[in-house]
């Protein structure tokens, strides 16, 4: 492909995507297609001969795009996958063309410098000092894994990374944790039985007395507390744990304090509901996800550490084949020496370009709009009797449930699942369901700069209609 062909194809793709984004609200949020219909679309042997580039793009236009979940649609309010900013989309195109690997300085010197600046922005945003550092990751799953490894290494005096886990350590978090915490505790060698998932209060915050009781019980039986994890924006309700209190307990017990702010970190940019005074800077390490509420395209997570020397202590292995003999002054920063990944995508570009193009102030306006939309839905639910909300949403996540006299737990679960399915089939919205304190709920989470308040009103009316229909047609037996 010469430059002329690349230019022509590039124009075709950009025109296609511009048209897609301009008319995205006219599409179904979720495609009206069954899995059995998708497999034949791509069922062909490995191509041996080239195809015209326009034909390849044409196949994507007819086979891929119509059958995607359109997360940029204002009616997408399900899992925390936001509408990607258009400049972030452009950034990923540039990223692929340059193909820099910031894992090693020699494969991306300017990329390394840019990512270090992005990390500086993020650590500043969280309230960390100049000694802080971090790495961009694939997302919260990897960031939480790294955060737990840092905790394991720090508390064991780095013995565990050499000798393995020899003692019975324990980790503490609320029952509203993300599943990545369970996987991380498993992956660092503690075993999932080492995780203490503790109850929450009426606002879905970790109950401190439950934490104190679990600590006392474990110490009584010879287990060693290792880490306490605070949540800064739970997936279901956006709840924020009492981080100053957790810091006090961690200091008293000699624990590492990790905070999962993958979703809630966006509130640091809020103008109307700022959360820069909730103690996030007290954490030893923080998970943040720019690809969630900073509206960057996937993938772009981050692990941030109050003292960047901990990264080097946990990951500082320099094999001979990666020694940079030209770095006599020690100025070529090697991300692989201070992090888990060696080869990885130039994730920082999309975050850098988003902040440069829109500015933190505008991104904060989008975040406030999403919070306002969740609070409007909470208000609308409070004004009638057919639904109830789990809590007043501090962020943009809100859980509501349909109320019907005599509806059993099994029937309520069936109703909410059936209604969510019908909402998906309508093509107008996409939401999920969840469980909170033994009850079934619709989980609604706008993280989209295209969503408007009118969408919240329409969604509630659709949920009302479909819930009533499910009961009236005996699709759900109240008893």
DSSP H or E run through 270: none
- The neighbour count for residue 178, using CB atoms within 10 Å, is 22
Is 391 a residue whose pLDDT tops 80?
Answer: yes
Q: In the chain, what are the domains?
A: 3-68 (1.20.1340.10), 94-355 (3.40.640.10), 364-472 (3.90.1150.170)
Would you call 35 exposed, middle or buried from its count of C-beta atoms within 10 A (0-12, 13-18, 19+)? exposed
pLDDT in tens, 294-314: 999 999 999 999 999 999 999
DSSP-derived secondary structure letter, 296: P
DSSP-derived secondary structure letter, 335: G
Where are the strands (E) in 92-216, listed by range?
133-137, 169-174, 195-198
Task: Measure the CA–CA gap between 97 and 76, rounded to whole angstroms.
Answer: 30
Task: Measure the CA–CA gap between 413 and 141, rounded to whole angstroms.
Answer: 28
| Edge-to-edge strand ranges of the sheet holding 169-174 | 133-137, 301-305, 285-288, 256-261, 224-231, 169-174, 195-198
Q: 311 vs 141, 340, 375, CA distance in Å?
A: 17, 9, 39
Do residues 441 and 397 make contact, with C-beta atoms less than 8 angstroms apart? no
Is 370 a residue whose pLDDT tops 90?
Answer: yes
Is 160 a residue whose pLDDT tops 60?
Answer: yes
pLDDT in tens, 408-452: 889 999 999 999 999 999 999 999 999 999 999 999 999 999 999
Is 455 a residue whose pLDDT tops 90?
Answer: yes
Degrees to nearest 5, angle at CA 207 with 201 and 210: 130
Q: What is the predicted pLDDT for the residue at 369? A: 98
Do residues 286 and 303 make contact, with C-beta atoms less than 8 angstroms apart? yes
Give the confidence band of 355 by pLDDT, cuts at 50, 70, 90.
Answer: very high
Q: What is the predicted pLDDT for the residue at 236? A: 96
Do residues 88 and 296 make contact, with C-beta atoms less than 8 angstroms apart? yes
Q: What is the predicted pLDDT for the residue at 1? A: 83
Degrees to nearest 5, angle at CA 138 with 134 and 140: 75
DSSP H or E run through 260: strand 256-261
């Amino acid at each position: 492909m010469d430059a002329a062909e690349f230019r022509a194809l590039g124009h075709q793709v950009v025109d296609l995507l511009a048209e897609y984004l301009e008319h995205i609200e006219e599409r179904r949020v979720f495609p009206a297609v069954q899995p059995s219909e998708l497999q034949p679309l791509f069922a062909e042997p490995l191509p041996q001969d080239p195809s015209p580039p326009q034909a390849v793009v044409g196949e994507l236009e007819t086979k891929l795009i119509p059958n995607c979940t359109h997360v940029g649609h204002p009616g997408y309010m399900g899992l925390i996958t936001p509408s990607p900013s258009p400049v972030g989309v452009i950034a990923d195109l540039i990223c692929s063309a340059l193909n820099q690997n910031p894992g090693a300085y020699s494969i991306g010197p300017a990329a390394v410098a840019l990512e270090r600046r992005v990390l500086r922005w993020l650590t500043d945003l969280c309230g960390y000092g100049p000694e802080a550092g971090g790495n961009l990751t694939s997302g919260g799953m990897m960031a939480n894994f790294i955060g737990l490894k840092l905790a394991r290494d720090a508390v064991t005096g780095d013995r565990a990374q050499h000798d393995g886990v020899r003692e019975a350590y324990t980790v503490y978090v609320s029952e509203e944790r993300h599943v990545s915490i369970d996987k991380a505790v498993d992956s660092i060698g503690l075993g999932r039985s080492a995780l203490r998932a503790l109850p929450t209060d009426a606002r879905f915050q970790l109950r401190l007395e439950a934490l104190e009781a679990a600590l006392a019980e474990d110490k009584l039986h010879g287990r060693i507390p290792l880490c306490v994890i605070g949540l800064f924006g739970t997936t279901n309700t956006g709840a924020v744990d009492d981080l100053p209190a957790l810091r006090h307990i961690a200091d008293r017990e000699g624990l590492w304090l990790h905070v999962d702010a993958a979703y809630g970190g966006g509130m640091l940019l809020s103008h109307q509901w700022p959360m820069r005074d909730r103690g996030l800077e007290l954490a030893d390490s923080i998970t943040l996800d720019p690809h969630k509420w900073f509206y960057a395209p996937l993938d772009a997570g981050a692990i941030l550490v109050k003292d960047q020397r901990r990264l080097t202590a946990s990951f500082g292995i320099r094999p001979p084949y990666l020694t940079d003999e030209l770095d006599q002054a020690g100025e070529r920063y090697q991300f692989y020496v201070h992090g888990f990944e060696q080869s990885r995508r130039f994730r920082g570009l999309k975050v850098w370009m988003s902040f440069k193009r829109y500015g933190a102030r505008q991104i904060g306006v989008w975040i406030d709009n999403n919070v306002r939309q969740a609070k409007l839905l909470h208000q609308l639910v409070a004004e009638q009797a057919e639904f109830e909300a789990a809590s007043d949403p501090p962020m943009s996540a809100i859980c509501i449930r349909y109320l019907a006299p005599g509806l059993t737990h099994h029937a309520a679960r069936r109703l909410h699942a059936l209604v969510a399915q019908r909402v998906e089939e309508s093509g107008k919205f996409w939401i999920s369901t969840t469980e909170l304190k033994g009850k079934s709920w619709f989980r609604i989470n706008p993280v989209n700069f295209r969503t408007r308040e009118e969408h919240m009103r329409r969604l509630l009316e659709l949920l009302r209609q479909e819930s009533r229909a499910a009961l009236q047609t005996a699709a759900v037996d109240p008893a």
